[in-house]
Amino acid sequence: MHKINRLNVIAFAIISSAVCALSSQALASPSGSQYQYEHAIYDDGYDDGYDDGYDDAMDDCPCWDEISILSGWYLGAGVGYDSFSVKRTIDQEPDVIGTTHNSLSGWNGSILGGYGHLFQPTTYGNFFLGGELFLGTSGADGSEHINTFATSASLDLSARTSFGFNIRPGFKFNQLPLTYLNLGMVRTDLQNSGTVDGMHMNTDRWTNGFQYGVGMETPIKKQWSFRVDYNRINYDSITSAGNTKMEAADNQFKLTGIYHFDK
């Protein structure tokens, strides 16, 4: 009887030790299915959190794709300043009686529309080519008085409406604004009014001019960019009453806001 009890005690001890060992192992190392389940939950939570954070960051990010912005159709409006230089030659054939030099200046405004394409990047940046049409107006005014032994004149000269086209080849260096040339033609209404030898004169002359210059453009927000331009416009000469030939040139500065259509 004592021997049976002793065997029962020994068996109970062995079974208890085995159960404890198995329980410890189970607590230390969860089953494969449970581990995979918990790991999947962790991964999903991490991915969801990362994706949400990334999406939020992109929504709030002030970054943009400059190739996408600067390529495509656009409209713009700008303001600037015109500074004309005018050379007037009074000619009584076969002699030139006199030459005057004058200036007129004033603010200008313009609207424009066009298309540009920023090519895929090279080592140093992106080549660019664009073309546009524009319509503008100017408040440039000036006056002059001419008195010679053959002619007496008091004239007011002003520049008003203009329109034309512009070709814009350029290059955008990495991390720098787009830099480009302006090459185009302009047609401008140049108005003369006043008196020449006692006779009243009032003429409007639409005059062609060749425009060349340089500009810089930089994106400031998604679909928006800002341009700064300097142009020189050399106009064809005009011969008016009293055998007076006028040659005009304009130094033009412009600041323009551009809206780029989303593709």
Q: What is the pLDDT of residues 199-211, one digit of tens each?
A: 777 778 899 999 9
pLDDT of residue 83: 96
Are residues 84 and 197 located together in one domain of the fold?
A: yes
Tracing tokens 């503008």 back to the chain, one arrives at: 136
Please tell me the total count of domains within the chain.
2
125/84 Cα distance (integer angstroms):
36
Query: Does 23 score more than 70 pLDDT?
Result: no
Are residues 55 and 146 located together in one domain of the fold?
A: no
Angle at 120 between CA 114 and CA 124, to 5 degrees: 110
Residue 56 pLDDT class (50, 70, 90 cuts): low
CB of 116 within 8 A of CB of 72? yes
In percent, how much of the chain has pLDDT > 70? 67
Are residues 223 and 113 located together in one domain of the fold?
A: yes
Are residues 31 and 111 located together in one domain of the fold?
A: no
Element (H, E) at 62: none
pLDDT of residue 4: 47
Give residue-wise pLDDT tens across range 143-175.
Answer: 877 766 666 767 788 999 999 999 999 999 988
Are residues 49 and 95 located together in one domain of the fold?
A: no
Are residues 150 and 240 located together in one domain of the fold?
A: yes
In percent, how much of the chain has pLDDT > 90? 45
- Cα–Cα distances in angstroms (integers) from residue 204 to residues 100, 106, 191, 211, in the given order: 20, 18, 5, 21
Are residues 41 and 113 located together in one domain of the fold?
A: no
pTM confidence score: 0.71
Query: Does 105 score more than 90 pLDDT?
Result: yes
Instruction: Give the range of the structural domain holding residue 155, as residue numbers without chain letter.
Output: 67-260
Query: Does 106 score more than 50 pLDDT?
Result: yes
Average pLDDT, the chain: 79
240 vs 106: which has the higher pLDDT: 106
- Cα–Cα distances in angstroms (integers) from residue 152 to residues 149, 197, 204, 241, 244, in the given order: 8, 5, 21, 12, 11
pLDDT of residue 143: 82
230 vs 94: which has the higher pLDDT: 230
